[in-house]
Amino acid sequence: MKIYAGLGSGNAAQLIERAKTAESAGMDGVWAEQLNGGAPFVPLATVAGHTSRIQLGTSIALAFTRSPLETALTALDMDYISGGRFNLGLGSGVQRLVEMWHGVKNYGKAVPHLRQTVELVRMIMKDAHTGKGITYQSEYYDVKIVGWRRPIAPVREKIPIYLAGVQAGMARLAGEIAEGMLGHIIWSPYWIKEVIHPNVKLGLERGGRQRSDIELTVPLVVIISKDRKAARYDAAREVGFFSTVRTYQPLFEAHGFGKITTEIQQIFRTEGGHSPKIPELVTDEMIEAFTVVGTVDEVRKKIAVFKDLVDGIMVEVPGFHMDSSKTNEYRVALFETFGR
């Protein structure tokens, strides 16, 4: 099972140190998220020249908020400066965020929209350096690129594309067309077995592909601490944050937490995401389902469950409502525990 780390946020020196530590610890790669609306390519470009082995990936880049041309050329640039170590992670994002924060009005249906995005991005990455005209017309895109070529040939014939998803539709799409699937932090072992596996399998069958053609990776909030009370509270705040998102309600309902998350969403609408009532409502059962918390030995035992479920894990520290000093403390523990 591959071990990846979330790169997180920070200044250049902090990001570089973090990436170098992950590489020296023997981890397989680092992934940067679209944190607070910012482009994940920037921190990855910052560390690319200071690492030589680990994979660099976006977890995720929002697929609908930038043009497929920009996405494709940025991916080619990232692969060039990293010497062929870049993985392009794409996701639809939450419709409300995409439309209200980014002003994108054609979100539409996420699965067909993302399928068309991937088709066009791959077309551009394949032909941009040849000078061949690129024409693509679909429900979501009408693109015609003529009289231009990228002056640098690709480092690799194909840059791996990972698709992010929460539910069945994205799992089927990833199985059909992607080199990888990036799970969501609120995936549980139950959800992976009952929803993700069968739908990835359906997608693979549709695409005439084998299970070995796709890497299934799940990000996990992992808190290693002897202070059990503080660790569980930090985990509760993380689970509470995702509970406010109504898009994820079917997942919570499938785990039997629908009543609690409905109450959390009501508090979020009336009092905001910083309400202390939200983590108070998160139960121990929710923390156990969606996070990995405990001592080193306890965490190792819980992580072992995923070895038969996924091809890789991405160990993450809590990212919401946390001060940087505590985040760094948790991250150091991750590197020490999962380094090889």
User: CATH no. for residue 178?
Assistant: 3.20.20.30
How far apart are alpha carbons 264 and 81 in whole angstroms? 44
Res 298 pLDDT > 80: yes
pLDDT of 293 above 80: yes
The answer to whether residue 84 is domain-embedded is yes
Provide the token pair at 183: 């799970």
* b/e per residue 191-203 (b: at least 16 CB within 10 A): bbeebbbebbeeb
Quote the Cα angle for 185-233-324, to 5°.
75
Q: Above 90 in pLDDT, residue 38?
A: no
Q: What angle do CA 168, 172, 178 make, to 5 degrees?
A: 130
The Cα–Cα gap between 139 and 110 comes to: 12
Question: Could you tell me if residue 168 is inside a domain?
Answer: yes
**6 in a domain, yes or no?**
yes
Length of the chain in terms of residues written: 340
Q: Does residue 243 sit within a domain?
A: no
**The model's pTM:** 0.95
Contacts of 256 (CB under 8 A, 6+ apart): none
For residue 234, being part of any structural domain is answered with: no
Domain assignment of residue 288, yes or no: no
pLDDT in tens, 203-217: 999 999 999 999 999
User: What is the β-pairing status of strands 291-294 and 215-224?
Assistant: parallel
**Does 264 reside within a domain?**
no
Distance CA 218, CA 151 (A): 36
pLDDT in tens, 96-107: 889 998 999 899
pLDDT for 248 beyond 80: yes
Total count of domains within the chain: 1
The pLDDT assigned to 43 comes to 96
Strand partners, 294: 224
Distance (Å, whole) CA 272 – CA 308: 39
307 is written with which tokens?
Answer: 């070895």
The whole domain housing 43 covers: 2-220+293-338
- Judged by average pLDDT, the poorest of 73-82, 234-243, 331-340 is 331-340
Residue type, 28: D
The Cα–Cα gap between 302 and 312 comes to: 14
In a domain, 227, yes or no: no
Q: Model confidence at 137, in pLDDT bands (50, 70, 90)?
A: very high
